[in-house]
Chain A
Amino acid sequence: MKMPIGSKFFGILLVLACSTMAQAAPLVAARTTDMRDAIDRITIAAENNGYRLVKIQAVDSALVKRGFENPGVRILFIGKASAMEQAQAYYPPLLSMLPLKLALIVRDKEIVVTSDDLDAWKEMFPEPQAHHLIDAWLKDLELILRDYVER
C-alpha cells in the first residue's frame, strides 16, 4: 500500500519528537494508594534497601497553608551514611546531589513516585569515579521503587 508523503512526514516527526523528549528519564513507579500510605511504603522500601528517610518536605500542605492550590506533591529525602562517606572520599561534587530525592505526586487514585534523573547526573559528572557511585545509587533506587510497587 502506498503511503501519502504527508503521512510519512507526520510519522517521522512523531518518532523524532518522542525520541527527543525521552532524553530526560527519571525512574517512575506508581501504585493505587493515598499519600500517607505511599510515604509509609516508600519509607519501608528504603529501609529494606539500606536507606533511611531523612526528611519529608510537605510541599502540598506548605502551599495550601499559604493560600495556594494543592499541587499534590510531596518530596522525600532518603540517604545512607555510606553514600555520603563515599561521595566525600571519591567525588565531593556529588555531595551537592545528596541526600537522594523522591517526588510523590498524586495522579487520580495513584501516587506516582519519581526519582531525580540520575542519567542526567552522569552527564553532569562525566568522570568514571562519579559514574561508579551514581550507578550504585541508581540500582538502589530501582530496588526501592520496585519494592514500593510490589509489596
Chain B
Amino acid sequence: MKKAAQYLTLVLSVLFSVAAVLPALAEEEPPLLNVAIKGKTLDQVTESLINAINSNNYSFVRQQAIDSRLVPTDWEAKSVRIIYFCNFDTMNRALALDTRASEFLPCRITLIETRDGVELMAVNPAWVSLRLGNYRLHEYCVKLKSDYQAIMNEAAL
C-alpha cells in the first residue's frame, strides 16, 4: 500500500513537473511565425510558397480567399489569401499522439498583401503544443515549426 502511494506520488511529481514547465516555456516561443516579402505580388508569392511546400515534402491542399464562400466569388478579398498544406504521414502521427493536434492541422499560412509586398503569417505550432502540455506532441511541433520556417523562408528567396 505504502509502495503504491510512493509510486503514485512519483508519477504525479513527474506529471506536475512536465505540466508546469511546458506552459512556462511557451513564453519563449513566439505565438506567430512571420515573414515579410518585399517587392512581390500576392500571386508571385503564392506560386513560390506552393513550390516551397512541395520541395519540403508537404502536399499543397488548397488556396482560398480569406472570405471564400462567405461572399459572392466576385466580391472575395483580393489582398488576403490562405494556403493549406500537410504531410499525411506526420499528420497521422500527431493525431495518434493527441487528437488536440487538430488545433494546428492542416497546416495553414495566411498571405496578406501590403504596400511593400506580402506578409506571411502562421500560428507557431510549438507555441500551441507547449500550452497543451504534451511533451511528445511538442517534439513533433518543434519539427513542424522548423518546417514552416523553411517553407516561408524559401518562398521569400
A interacts with B: yes
Contact A24 B132 (CB under 8 A): yes
B interface, size bucket = 35 or more
1/0 per position for B60-98, CB-CB distance to A under 8 A?
000010111111000001001000100011011001100
1/0 per position for B93-126, CB-CB distance to A under 8 A?
0011001101101100010100000000111000
Contact B70 A54 (CB under 8 A): yes
**Given A23-B131, A96-B32, does the pair A10, B70 have CB atoms closer than 8 Å?**
no
CA distance A80 to B16 in the complex (A): 40
Q: How many A-B residue pairs have CB under 8 A?
A: 126
Choose among B9, B32, B84, B103 the residue that contacts A116 (Cβ–Cβ < 8 A). Answer: B103
CA distance A147 to B100 in the complex (A): 22
CB of B5 within 8 A of chain A? yes
Choose among B88, B121, B131 the residue that contacts A62 (Cβ–Cβ < 8 A). Answer: B88
Cβ < 8 Å to A, chain B residues 45-64: 64
Q: Nearest A residue to B132 by beta-carbon distance?
A: A24
Contact B121 A95 (CB under 8 A): yes
1/0 per position for A88-106, CB-CB distance to B under 8 A?
1000110111110101010
**Given A13-B16, A20-B16, A66-B88, does the pair A88, B80 have CB atoms closer than 8 Å?**
yes
Contact A10 B67 (CB under 8 A): no
Give the secondary structure class of B's interface: helix
Choose among A6, A26, A72, A103 the residue that contacts B6 (Cβ–Cβ < 8 A). Answer: A6
CB of A123 within 8 A of chain B? yes
B110 to chain A, nearest CB (A): 4
CB of B15 within 8 A of chain A? yes
**Given A17-B19, A20-B23, A103-B99, does the pair A124, B67 have CB atoms closer than 8 Å?**
no
Chain B residues with CB under 8 Å of A55's CB are: 64, 69
Chain B residues with CB under 8 Å of A105's CB are: 99, 102
Contact B5 A6 (CB under 8 A): yes
B83 to chain A, nearest CB (A): 12
B82 to chain A, nearest CB (A): 8
CA distance A68 to B90 in the complex (A): 11
